[in-house]
Amino acid sequence: MELTNEHIKTRLTEKFGDQVSDFVEPYGMLTFEAPKGLNLKVLQFLYDDPELRFRFLTDLQAVHYPENKERELAVVYHLHNLTDNVRIRFKIFTAIESPDVYTATQLYACANWMERETYDFFGVNFIGHPDLKRILNVEEMDYFPMRKEFPLEDQTRIDKDDDMFGR
């Protein structure tokens, strides 16, 4: 039987009820949301279920929505079923004051560096990660540059003080 978005949605709803929500299909790709405490349970179910078999983590990253109070940071998992060639997108939201999310490294080994990158740029604190430190930026950096409150421009320069340069 072909694995349709409708079927994935039904399986998830049977298992988790109202806790998985906001099902949408932008460009045909099933996208849904769950509470952040449930992220490992949902991922484990998607991995283990004999019909779903989402065994490949394509990508993991975060998005910062400063206007969404108490759910400023979204952590997005892109999952791939390699057998049926089906992709889905799974989001959890967390408050920026306590960006604590359970790590997916026990389930997907490739999540290790992706979570380090997400920590590096957005400051998402992955609980249980074996080696959560910066991966791309210099180690001395003391902020998370992809958060929207930090301007893109290098703030250490003093010679470009024009309004055009965002200083």
List residues near other proteins by CB under 8 A: 136-138, 141, 145, 150, 152-157, 160, 165
Query: Whose Cβ is closer to other proteins: residue 65's or residue 165's?
Result: 165
Shortest distance, CB of residue 146 to other proteins, whole angstroms? 9
Instruction: Evaluate the CA torsion angle 92, 96, 102, 106 in order and state its sign.
Output: positive
Shortest distance, CB of residue 151 to other proteins, whole angstroms? 9
Query: Whose Cβ is closer to other proteins: residue 65's or residue 150's?
Result: 150
Query: Whose Cβ is closer to other proteins: residue 93's or residue 121's?
Result: 121
Shortest distance, CB of residue 112 to other proteins, whole angstroms? 19
Shortest distance, CB of residue 133 to other proteins, whole angstroms? 14
Phi, psi for residue 157 in degrees, rounded to 5: -80, 140
Query: Whose Cβ is closer to other proteins: residue 10's or residue 155's?
Result: 155
Containing 15, the helix (H) or strand (E) segment is helix 5-16
Query: Whose Cβ is closer to other proteins: residue 14's or residue 140's?
Result: 140
- Three-class SS of residue 86? strand
Taking the alpha carbons at both ends of the chain, their separation in whole angstroms is 58
Cβ proximity of 112 and 60 under 8 Å: no
Cα gap 115→60, rounded to integer Å? 7
Instruction: Evaluate the CA torsion angle 123, 115, 127, 38 in order and state its sign.
Output: positive
Shortest distance, CB of residue 161 to other proteins, whole angstroms? 12
